[in-house]
Amino acid sequence: MRFRNLTPAAAAFVAAVPIACGTSVTMPSGPIGAGSVSGLWRGTGIDSQGATVVTWSLTQTGAAVSGTVKTQAVDPNDGSCSSCHRNKSGTFSGSIDGTTMTLTMHFAAGADGDPTPACTTTLSGSASVPGNGVNQLTAVYTGADSCEGPFLNGNLPMTRQP
C-alpha cells in the first residue's frame, strides 16, 4: 500500500485503523507521570510548632502509597514538652494522581514507646512527585495534635535514602 500525498486527516485515519481493528494497546501500570516513591525517605519538617526530623518507609502499589512514619525532635536532649511531643511513630497513607501525591500521617494515641501516649496527631498534605528517578520531594502539610494544638504552614523537604 502506498501512503504518499495523504492529507493530515487521512493519515490520522490510517494510523487509527489498526487500533480500531483489534490491535490491543497496553497501558502502563501505576500512576502516569510520577516516579515510584517506594523506599526510605528522611527530612526535616518546619511548621508553626517548630522543626521535626521525619523518616518515611514507603511502599507504592499502583497509585496507592502506604508505610510507616517516625518523627523525632531535632535536639533529642532539649527536654522541653514540645520536643517530647515530636517523638512519635505512626502510619503513612496516600495516593498519587498524575504527579501529585496526597498524604496523611497519623499517630494514634497509646502507641507503644510514644512518650506522649495520650495524644493523637494527624497531618495531611501533598507533594509534587516528578518523573522516574525521583530522589527529592517537598511536602506541604497542616494538621493537629490533640494535646499541642494545630500544625500550620508545614514544609517538609524529603530525600530518598540509599
- Please give the domain boundaries of the chain with CATH numbers for all domains: 39-160 (2.40.128.30)
Contacts of 53 (CB under 8 A, 6+ apart): 42, 43, 44, 71, 72, 73, 74
Asked which of 57-71, 124-138, 146-160 is least confident by mean pLDDT, the reply is: 124-138
User: Where is average pLDDT lowest: 10-19, 108-117, 137-146?
Assistant: 10-19
Q: Which three cell numbers stand for residue 71?
A: 518523627
Q: Mean pLDDT across the stretch 122-128?
A: 97
Among 27-36, 71-80, 134-143, where is mean pLDDT lowest?
Answer: 27-36
Question: CA–CA distance from 45 to each of 20, 21, 127 (Å)?
Answer: 51, 54, 13
User: Given pLDDT bands bounded at 50, 70 and 90, which one contains residue 20?
Assistant: very low
Q: Residue 54: which of 68, 36, 39 has the closest Cα? A: 68
* pTM of the predicted model as reported, rounded to 2 decimal places: 0.75
Site of grid cell 526535616: 44
Greatest distance between any 2 Cα atoms in the chain: 81
d(CA 157, CA 135): 11
Where in the chain does DSSP place strands (E)? 39-47, 50-61, 64-73, 88-97, 100-107, 121-128, 136-145, 149-160
- CA terminus-to-terminus distance, the chain: 54
Q: Sign of dihedral through CA atoms 140, 87, 115, 92?
A: positive
Q: What digits encode the pLDDT tens for the residues 60-76?
A: 999 999 999 999 988 87
The mean pLDDT value for 11-31 works out to 46
Amino acid at 117: P
